[in-house]
Amino acid sequence: MGVRLTLDGMAEFREGLRRLPEDLAAKAALVVRDTAQQVGQEVQFNYPSRTGNLKRGVKVTLDGSKVSVRGVVRSGAPHAHLYEYGTARRQTTKGANRGVMPKGPTEDLVGPRASRARKRMTDELIVIVQEAGLTTSET
């Protein structure tokens, strides 16, 4: 079962952000940067550490222009998807369980953390826009 999120007025919100003066864009860029770095640090902290490859594989990148910025957190270790999504339960011929990742802190890594952080970041960006005298509304 998929999840669908519809945001009304997002195009107008983005257009409003594009027209903001550079000082407001700089404030927004700080929020985006801080949010991306925070998510990256949380993921690194919560990955298990056997060889350290998972923790070292977490990369935060920022790109943008004078009026926009994008933060991306990627878990680049070759086996990161196993911790993010798990695998099917399997058994060896001797009956040993294989394939299912253990329950615990690894259940809540990049995806869920990024979703919660995106919501907090959006709330902070709305405050910046409102402080600039622009209006926003939630429906």
- 84 inside domain: yes
Instruction: Kindly compute the dihedral angle of the four CA atoms of residues 114, 115, 121, 124, in this order, to the nearest 10 degrees.
Output: -150
Q: Is residue 121 one of the residues assigned to a domain?
A: yes
**In-domain check, residue 47:** yes
Q: Assess whether pLDDT exceeds 60 at residue 106.
A: no
Q: Specify if 139 maps to a domain.
A: no
For the chain, the domain total comes to 1
In-domain check, residue 42: yes
At 49, the pLDDT band (50, 70, 90 cuts) reads confident
- Give me the mean pLDDT over the 111-118 stretch: 83
Helix (H) or strand (E) holding 129: helix 110-131
Averaged pLDDT of the chain: 79
pTM metric for this prediction: 0.67
Contact yes or no for 9/17 (Cβ under 8 A):
no
Residue 95 is assigned to a structural domain of this protein: yes
The encoded tokens of residue 138 equal: 């939630």
Q: Is residue 35 predicted with pLDDT exceeding 80? A: yes
Structure confidence at residue 108 (pLDDT): 58
Residue (of 117, 123, 121, 120) closest to 138 by Cα position: 123
Q: Give the pLDDT mean for 15-20.
A: 68
In a domain, 64, yes or no: yes
CB-facing half-sphere around the CA of 97: CA atoms within 13 A: 6
